[in-house]
Structure 1
């Protein structure tokens, strides 16, 4: 099988129309969390499956935005709602001009969820 040689483009920034925009991503996160978790109950043994399902759906919806040269990363944390405080943090090494992250929090009677979507521009 012959590999197709791709020439370097030296593009270091996305065009204005191809930027990772927080508002549409936040809407996607909100829609998916509400749809998937509105009727969900917390069960420790089912949470890993639910977490993966939420993350996969968010990532599929983000791909529909057709953001060329962006690496999309989705992190979802689901825990039991007992009135406790929870802090979720992340640390990344990235370009502040092109890379972005967006988070959304969802709560119902038995669980909480923090979903974060990262858009990392690949030079």
Structure 2
């Protein structure tokens, strides 16, 4: 007898990426990492460390077959406006993103995590 193989091309509802949960996590990581900091040339290092921290937290969600892309931008707070935009070509049923924003007197930080389901 042959066994028939099954292949799931969509995650179950409970295994989907949940932006609302990840938004809070990103904000907490940004706040913990930057709340006592003043903007300086170390911002590049902070971005790398925060990005790694967010990626570790995403992997702990244990969402099977999701791949993550994380981007963190830190800038000096000077009272000027900043706009950040992105575009993605993806499956709106399975793929999604989350973002978090942190601001103090010296700096602003935006963290974005993209979750792409790997077929």
TM over 0.5: yes
2:104 aligned residue (95, 108, 119): 108
In the other structure, the counterpart of 1:16 is 13
The 8 Å contact of residues 24 and 100 in structure 2, kept in 1 or not, is answered as no
In the other structure, the counterpart of 1:78 is 74
Q: What SS does structure 2 have at the residue aligned with 1:17? A: helix
In the other structure, the counterpart of 1:32 is 29
Matched, 1:64 2:60: yes
Q: What SS does structure 2 have at the residue aligned with 1:82? A: coil
The 8 Å contact of residues 67 and 117 in structure 2, kept in 1 or not, is answered as yes
Structure 1 gap ranges (5+)? 1-7
Matched, 1:93 2:89: yes
How many residues are aligned here?
115
Structure 2 gap ranges (5+)? none
For 1:114 and 1:23, the matched residues in 2 are separated by 16
The structural deviation recorded for 1:9 is 5.3
TM-score w.r.t. length of structure 1 = 0.89
For 2:6 and 2:108, the matched residues in 1 are separated by 43
Give the root-mean-square deviation of aligned CA atoms. Answer: 1.2
TM-score w.r.t. length of structure 2 = 0.92
